[in-house]
Chains A and B, each alone.
Chain A
Amino acid sequence: MYSFEFEKPSTIAEAVAALGAEEAQALGGGQTLIPTLKQRLAAPAKLVSLSGIAELKGVCVEDDGALAIGGGTTHATVAREAADKYPALADLASHIGDPAVRNRGTIGGSLANNDPSACYPAAVLASGATIRTNSRDIAADDFFQGMFTTALADGEIITSVRFPVPQAANYQKFLQPASRFALVGVFVARFADGVRVAVTGASEDGVFRWTEAEQALSADFRPDAVKDLKVDPSGMIGDLHGSKEYRAHLVGVMTRRAVAAAG
C-alpha cells in the first residue's frame, strides 16, 4: 500500500472533522478497503478509522419497536444481539464471509461500499430501513444508487440503521462458488401493509426491489404466488459464475425459498 496519514477519533464529531481533510477516507472494518489499499488500487491521503467511536456501536430496540444498529457494529455482534429481535437479519449477518470478516466488518461499512453482491443491502432495502448519517436520515429506497454508489456525500458517516421489524422475513443466498458472496440473494419481508422483496448479487445496477413479486406476495404470501413470474435477464450480471439468464432464474428460485422459509 501507499503511505497515508491515520487518525482514530473517538467521537462522530471528530471523525466528521477529520474527514473534511483533502482525500480523506473513512475506514470501517476494512474488509474491502484494506485489500484494496494493499493492491495499491486506492491511495487516500488520510484514513479515518471509525472503530474507536463507541456511539457508533451497538444494537437496540427503539420505542416504536424498530431495531437500531450502530453503523460501526460488526456482523458478529448483529448476528448475536439481533437474534431474538429480528432473526432473519441476524441470520443474514451470521452468514456474511467467514468469522474473521464477521468480527471486523461493519454494517455501515458494507452499506457505504454497496458491493452489488453484498448481503446487507438486501436486508436494508427489503426492510424499508432508514440510514441515519451524521447529517440526515436517508430512506433505503433513496440510498442505493447503483453498483458501489450510494446517496452518501463525501465525508458523510452512517451513524446507525433503523430497521422496522417485519412480521415474517427470510434471506436466501445462493453462493458464488469462489467468493461465497451472493451470486443471487433475496430478502423477503412481510409487513402488515405489504411485502417487500429485495434482490442482491444479480443486477448490474446493484440491489433492487422486485416489485412484481411484492405485489403478488402482498396478495398471497405463498411460494406459488410467484412461481410464474419471470425476471428479465437483461440488466442482470453475466460472468464466469453464471449467465444473465441463470441469475434471472435464481431470483425466482430464491424468492420462493425465502417465502417458504419465512412461513
Chain B
Amino acid sequence: MPKDSGIGASSKRREDVRFLTGAGNYTDDINIHGQAYVYFLRSDIAHGRINSIDTADAEAMPGVVRVFTGADFEGVGGMPCGWQVTDRHGQPMQEPPHPILAQGKVRHVGDPIAAVVADSLEQARDAAEAIAFDIEELPAVVDMREAAKGGATKVHDDLTSNICYDWVLGETDDAKVDEVFQNAAHVTTLELTNNRLVANPMEPRVCVAEYSRGTDEYTLYTTSQNPHVIRLLMCAFVLGLPEHKVRVVAPDVGGGFGTKIFHYAEEAFCTFAAKACNRPVKWTASRSEAFMSDAQGRDHVTKIELALDSDNNFVGLRTDTLANMGAYLSTFSSSVPTWLHGTLMAGNYKTPVIQVNVKAIFTNTVPVDAYRGAGRPEATFQLERVIDKAARELGVDPIKLRRQNFITEFPYDTPVALTYDTGDYNGTMDKLEAAADIAGFPARRAESEARGKLRGLGVNCYIEACGIAPSNIVGMLGARAGLYDAATVRVNATGTISVMVGAHSHGQGHETAFPQVVAEMIGIDESMVEIVHGDTSKIPFGMGTYGSRSLAVCGSAMVRATEKIINKAKKIAAHLLEASEADIELKDGQFTVAGTDKSVAWGDVTLTAYVPHNFPLEDIEPGLEETAFYDPANFTFPAGAYACEVEVDPETGKVTIERFTAADDFGNIVNPMIVDGQVHGGIGQGIGQALLENCVYDENGQLLSASYMDYAMPRADDVPFYTVDHSSQTPCTHNPLGVKGCGEAGAIGSPPAVVNAVIDALQSGGKTVDHIDMPVSPSRVWAAMNG
C-alpha cells in the first residue's frame, strides 16, 4: 500500500497552490517605494577595445539618476571564480579579471559597457542610447580549436594564451595508456560535440537592491539558487562589505537549472548602485538579455577512444576534450569540465585504465558554467555513445556489452578519483528491459517500417555524482567554498515546526518533501511543518541547491537537527512522566513510557518547553530549537538505465520520440510523485538538447540563436509520455535518509539514449551513419542520410 503521508508518500506539492493561482512572490513582484530602474548598455560586438565612453549627454537626459561605467569600479573587486583548478604541471589555472562593467575591452556580445539608473526603465533606455562610445572592433575568438593555437588573438591580453588550464585525470603516464591501446583487440574512436545550451528558466534574472543610510545595511533580492553563497562572494570578493550588514533574499524563483547558482555582475552592480544613488534600484532582464548574459551550458568538443580486449572487456579509455569557458570565468565554470566531468568517465563500468585530458579555452562568447547535470551529461554522452559504436563495430548487443562490463562489487574505487558506495547496475537494467518492453521492439519496428518509417532503439546507462563532498576533499581539489549544508528546526510552543534550511527550492518541491521527513520522524501531520528558505536573515548559513544535493545534504542536516529535537523532547517528556529518559519512546506524536500506558502528547511537551513551569531547568534549557550542519562523507551515486525509441521520417529526416523509459536507482525516495516530476523535467531538457536546442555563434561572435525564433526549446508535443521506474533502490550508505538525489538524472541519461536510437534507426534503413552531433535536427539527419 502506498503511504498517504510521511516518507514515501506522494504528497501533493503544497507550493503549487500559490504558484498556480498567481500568489507567488517572485523577485520582479518586489517593488520598493522610490525605486529607480537599471538599464545595461551591452556590447553588440564580441571583441573590442574601449577607447572612450562619454556619458555626459546621457547624464543630462530626463529622469536619469546616474550613469556608471567601468571607471566607477576601479577600486572594487571583480567577479570571482569559486574553484581553482590546478593543471597537469601543478600550476594554477589562468584567472583573468572579470570587472562588473567592462574595463579596457568588451569580450562578448552582451558584455555590459555602462549602466544607467533612471526614474523609469524607458528613461534609462533612452539615456543609454545617448551614451557616446568609441570601441575599436578586434578579431573575435570563437572556435575553440583556433583559440587554443599559439598566436591566436587573445581574449585577455595579460594571459599567456587562451588556454585557462590543461588538465589531466586518471592515468597520467602516457606510455602506460599507449600500451593499453596498442595491446587492445579493438579500439573504437568517436569525435563529438556536446552542444552549447542556454538554460532558459521561465523567470529571467532580476535584482532589487536597497540601502539604508540610517543603519548602513543592504538588502539584495535576487533570483538565486543559493543566497548565502551570493552574499559571501559579493561581500568578501567583490564589494568588500561586512556580511552582517548585507541581507540576500531569493524569494520564489521560477527555475534555475544551474544558471542561477552563480554570482552575477548585475547583483553586485545593483547593490553598489543602491548606496551610490541612495535609491532602491531594480533590474529585470529581458529575454534577450538572458540569452546574452545568463551563463550558458555544455560546449565541449571531445575525441574519445575505447579499448577492448578480445573478450570485449573494456581495458582502456582515453579522452581529449576542449571545454569552452566563454569570455570570463563564471563562478563554478572551471570545475565543470574537470571534477564534475573527468571523475565521471568511468561511468558504470570497470574500465581499469582511464585518462581524461581537458583543455579549458577562453573565447569571445558568453561565459559557460554549470547547467543541469554540469559535466556529468558531457561525460555520459561521450561514454555511452562510444560504447554503442563499439557494440555496432563488434556486432554485439549493446545491452549485453554494457552488462558484461558493469561494476558489480561495491564499494568500488574508480581510476578517476571516486569511490562508488553502492549500486546494482544489472538490477536497474533488468527493470529497464521490463519497463521498456525491449523484447517487443522488433514488432514495433516492423509496424513502423510498414508505415514507411525507420524505427530505432537506443539504450544507455548513466552514473551521477551528487552532493559534492566532503568539504575537506573538495577544498584540496580547488573549491573555494565548503559543501556542507545546514538546517534549524524551530518547534513552536503549540507543536508546529518551522524548519529553516540552507537549500533553496526553485521548482524541486522542498516545501512539500522536507516536511514529510520531519513529520515522519516525530509522527505528526505534515501540515504542522513548514520550510523557510531563501533569506540569509532567516536561515542558517547553507550552501543552496544545485548538483542534486538538497535532500542528500541539507535533508541530512535537517534529520540531524530533528534528532536533537527529539532527544531533548524526550528529556522533557521523561520529566513530565516522571520516568527515565531511556524508557521514553516516541511514536505517532506521543511520548510513552515503554511497557506502560503512561504517555504525553507532542503538543504538551512543546508547550512545556516554552512555558517551563514544570521543567527540568537544572538539566536543560527551555525552548525547543536546534541547528545542525552536515558535511557528507562522500558523494552520492544515483545511477540508471534509459531506453528511447524513435521514428525517423526518411523523407524529411524528422525524428519523433515514440517511447522513452527511465529506470533509475535513487536509493530511498521521500516523495515518488516529485521524483517522477524531476525525472520528467530532466528528460525533457535532455531531449531538448538531443533534438532541438543549440546556441550558435557566427565567426564574428554574433549570437545567431538569440531568441526563441532561432533557439528551439522543447515543447509538450516534442516529448512523449514517459515511463519511469524507480523500484531499483540501493540506499546511499553514508547519509541518514539513504537518499541519492534525482534532480539531474533525466538530463544526464537521456541525450545518449536519443542519439543512440537515431543511429540505430538509420542503420536499420541501411545507412552507414556512425554519429550525428546534437541537436539531431531534421536537416542534420537528412544530410547524414544523404551525405
Enumerate chain A interface residues (CB-CB to B < 8 A).
39-40, 174, 177-179, 181, 240-243, 245-246, 249-250, 253
- Is B159 part of the binding interface, using a Cβ–Cβ cutoff of 8 Å? no
Considering residues A240, A245, A249, A253, which has the most beta carbons from chain B within 10 angstroms of its beta carbon?
A: A240
Task: Report the nearest B residue to A247, measured CB to CB.
Answer: B779
A249 to B781 alpha-carbon distance, docked (Å): 13
**Chain B 687-713 interface 0/1 with A at a Cβ cutoff of 8 Å (1 = within):** 000011010100000001100111111
Q: Which of chain B's residues 631-673 have a Cβ closer than 8 Å to chain A?
A: 651-654
Kindly state the separation between the CA atoms of A245 and B777 in the bound complex, as whole angstroms: 15
A245 / chain B contacts, CB cutoff of 8 Å:
783
Judge whether B778 is part of the interface by a CB distance below 8 angstroms.
yes
Contact assessment for A240 and B710 in the assembled complex, using a CB-CB cutoff below 8 Å: yes
Q: Is the CB of A179 within 8 A of B652?
A: no
Chain A residue at minimum C-beta to C-beta distance from B711: A178
- A181 to chain B: which residues have CB within 8 Å? 709
Given contacts A178-B709, A178-B710, contact A241 B652 (CB under 8 A): no
Closest to A40 in B: B125
Query: A241 near B777 (CB under 8 angstroms)?
Result: yes
- Does B768 sit within 8 A of A, measured CB to CB? no
How far is A241 from B777 in the complex, measured between Cα atoms in Å? Answer: 8
A241-B777, A249-B782, A253-B652 known; A39 and B710 CB under 8 Å?
Answer: no
> Which A residue sits closest to B782, measured CB to CB?
A246
Residue from the list B288, B652, B694, B709 in contact with A174, Cβ < 8 A: B652
Contact A240 B708 (CB under 8 A): no
Does the CB pair A240–B652 fall under 8 Å?
Answer: no
Complex partner residue of A250 from B652, B696, B710, B783, CB under 8 angstroms: B652
- A246–B786 Cα distance when bound, in Å, is 10
Q: Quick one: closest B residue to A253, CB to CB?
A: B651
Alpha-carbon distance A134/B708, docked complex (angstroms): 36
Indicate if the CB atoms of B709 and A179 lie closer than 8 Å: yes
Sampled A-B contacts (10; CB under 8 Å): A174-B652, A178-B711, A240-B696, A240-B705, A241-B710, A243-B783, A246-B779, A246-B783, A249-B782, A253-B651
Residues of A with C-beta under 8 A to B705: 178, 240
Q: Which residues of B contact A178 (CB under 8 A)?
A: 692, 705, 708-713
Shortest B16–chain A CB gap in Å is 24
**In the complex the two chains form, is B710's CB within 8 Å of A179's CB?**
yes
> Taking the nearest CB of chain A, how far is it from the CB of B150, in angstroms?
31
Chain B residues with CB below 8 A from A253, complex form: 651-652
Q: Which 4 interchain pairs have the tightest Cβ spacing?
A: A178-B712, A242-B779, A177-B712, A179-B709
Chain B residue contacts of A174, Cβ below 8 A: 652, 654, 778
> A177-B691, A241-B710, A253-B651 provided; 15 other pairs, C-beta below 8 A?
A174-B654, A177-B712, A177-B777, A178-B705, A178-B711, A178-B712, A240-B705, A241-B777, A241-B779, A242-B779, A243-B783, A246-B653, A246-B778, A246-B779, A249-B782
Residue of B653, B692, B713 most packed against chain A (CB within 10 A): B653
Residues on A with beta carbons closer than 8 Å to the beta carbon of B654? 174
Q: Which residues of B contact A40 (CB under 8 A)?
A: 125
Asked whether, in the complex, the Cβ of B778 is within 8 Å of the Cβ of A242, the reply is yes
Q: In the complex, what residues of B have CB within 8 A of residue A241's CB? A: 710, 777, 779
* Given known contacts A178-B709, A179-B709, A240 and B694 CB-to-CB distance under 8 angstroms: yes
**Residue pair B692, A177 in contact (C-beta under 8 Å):** yes
Residues on B lying within 8 angstroms of A by beta carbon are: 125, 288, 651-654, 691-692, 694, 696, 704-705, 708-713, 777-779, 782-783
Taking CB atoms, residues of chain A closer than 8 Å to B694 are 240
Distance A181 CA – B711 CA, assembled complex (angstroms): 13
Report the separation of the CA atoms of residues A123 and B710 in the bound assembly, to the nearest whole angstrom.
Answer: 25
Residues of A within 8 A of B712 (CB): 177-178
B88 to chain A, nearest CB (A): 36
Kindly state the separation between the CA atoms of A177 and B781 in the bound complex, as whole angstroms.
14
Complex: A174 Cα to B651 Cα, angstroms? 12
B704-A240 in contact (CB<8A): yes
B131 to chain A, nearest CB (A): 15
Looking at the assembled complex, report how far the CB atom of B204 sits from the nearest CB atom of chain A, in whole angstroms: 15
Q: Is B708 a contact partner of A179 (Cβ separation < 8 A)?
A: yes
Q: Which residues of A contact B782 (CB under 8 A)?
A: 246, 249
Measured in the bound complex, the distance between the Cα atoms of B692 and A243 in whole Å is 16
Q: B708 to chain A: which residues have CB within 8 Å? A: 178-179
What residues on B are CB-neighbors of A177 within 8 Å?
691-692, 712, 777-778
Q: How far is the CA of A43 from the CA of B119 in the complex (A)?
A: 22
Expressed in whole angstroms, the minimum distance between the Cβ of B783 and any Cβ of chain A is 7
Closest to B649 in A: A253
Q: Name the distance in Å between A233's Cβ and chain B's nearest Cβ.
A: 13
Identity of the chain B residue whose Cβ is nearest the Cβ of A180 in the assembled complex: B715
Rounded to whole angstroms, the CA-CA distance of A249 and B692 in the bound complex is 21
CA distance A40 to B288 in the complex (A): 13
Shortest beta-carbon distance from B379 to chain A in Å: 27
CA distance in complex: A174, B711 (Å): 17
Task: Specify which chain A residues have a CB less than 8 angstroms from the CB of B125 in the assembled complex.
Answer: 40
Min CB distance, B365 to chain A, in Å?
A: 16
CA distance in complex: A181, B651 (Å): 20
- How many angstroms from the CA of A245 to the CA of B654 in the assembled complex? 16
Across-interface contacts of B692 in A (CB, < 8 A) = 177-178
- When chains A and B are docked, how far (Å) is the Cα of A179 from the Cα of B710? 6
List residues of chain A with CB within 8 A of the CB of B713. 178
A249 partner residues in chain B, CB cutoff 8 A: 782
Nearest CB of B to A38, in Å = 9
Least Cβ–Cβ distance between B433 and chain A, in angstroms: 32
Give the complex CA separation of A113 and B653 in angstroms. 31
- A112 to chain B minimum Cβ distance, whole angstroms, is 20
Q: Would you give the shortest CB distance from A179 to chain B, in whole angstroms? A: 4
Query: CA of A110 to CA of B185 in the docked complex: distance in angstroms?
Result: 63
With a cutoff of 8 Å between Cβ atoms, the chain A residues found around residue B652 in the complex are 174, 250, 253
CA distance A241 to B783 in the complex (A): 12
Assess the B779–A243 pair: CB atoms within 8 A. Answer: yes
A250 to B652, CA, bound (A): 7
> Which residues of chain A come closer than 8 Å to B653, judged between CB atoms?
246
- Cβ of A242: which chain B residues have Cβ within 8 Å of it? 777-779
Minimum Cβ distance to chain A for residue B695 (Å): 10
Q: Give A9 to B16 CA distance when docked, in angstroms.
A: 44
A249 vs B782: C-alpha distance in the bound complex, in angstroms? 10
Distance in angstroms between the alpha carbons of A242 and B713 in the assembled complex:
17
Cβ contacts under 8 Å, B288 to chain A:
39
> Complex Cα distance A177/B709, Å?
9
Residue of A nearest to B705 (CB): A240
Interface centre among B653, B712, B779 (most CB of A within 10 A): B779
User: Shortest beta-carbon distance, B371 to chain A, in Å?
Assistant: 18
Closest to B691 in A: A177
A177 to B694, CA, bound (A): 11
Closest residue on chain B to residue A242 by CB atoms: B779
CA distance A177 to B654 in the complex (A): 10
CA distance A174 to B691 in the complex (A): 16
- Least CB separation from B777: chain A residue: A177
CA distance A246 to B783 in the complex (A): 8
Complex CA gap A241/B694 in Å reads: 10
CB distance from B37 to the nearest CB of A (A): 15
Determine the residue in chain A with the shortest Cβ distance to B125: A40
Please report the C-alpha to C-alpha distance between residue A249 and residue B653 in the assembled complex, in whole angstroms: 11
Please give, as numbers and ranges, the residues of chain A lying within 8 Å of B779 by CB-CB distance.
241-243, 246
* CB neighbours of B709 from chain A (8 A): 178-179, 181
**CA–CA, A240 to B779, complex, Å?**
9
| CA of A246 to CA of B708, assembled, Å | 22
Residues on B with beta carbons closer than 8 Å to the beta carbon of A243: 779, 783
Most chain B CB neighbours (cut-off 10 Å) among A39, A174, A178, A253? A178
The CA of A240 and the CA of B780, in the complex, are separated in Å by 10
Residues of B within 8 A of A240 (CB): 694, 696, 704-705, 710
In the complex, A243 Cα to B787 Cα: how many Å? 13
C-alpha gap A9/B287 in the complex (Å): 34
Distance in Å from the Cβ of B9 to the closest Cβ of chain A?
Answer: 37
In Å, the complex CA distance between A240 and B694 comes to 9
B711 CB contacts on chain A under 8 angstroms: 178
CA distance A243 to B125 in the complex (A): 37
Instruction: For the complex, give the distance between the alpha carbons of A177 and B717 in Å.
Output: 12
Residues on B with C-beta less than 8 A from A250 are 652
